[in-house]
Amino acid sequence: MNSTKSLFSLAALFLLAIPLAGCGSIESAAQEDCTSIGWQIGSKGYEDCYRARVYERKLDYAPPPGDKPRPSML
């Protein structure tokens, strides 16, 4: 019985980890955006593009201004 619980827990953990494995970081996505439009890594234009894309992506994932966390109903 105990081994069944541990096997179930391991399977659940594995299934939850699969979608997260494909997620990249904000920085890697910004790098990909800038290189895909032709900027060379290390150039002035690339650095400007990279900083702007990181800033934009952080804004995309930030909560709206004035948003207050609500207590969970669980």
pLDDT of res. 6: 62
pLDDT of res. 52: 96
pLDDT of res. 11: 57
pLDDT of res. 49: 96
Of the candidates 36, 20, 28, 26, the residue with the CA atom closest to the CA atom of residue 56: 26
pLDDT tens for each residue of the chain, 74 residues long: 466 666 556 555 555 555 444 457 999 999 999 999 999 999 999 999 999 999 999 998 888 778 777 777 76
pLDDT of res. 1: 47
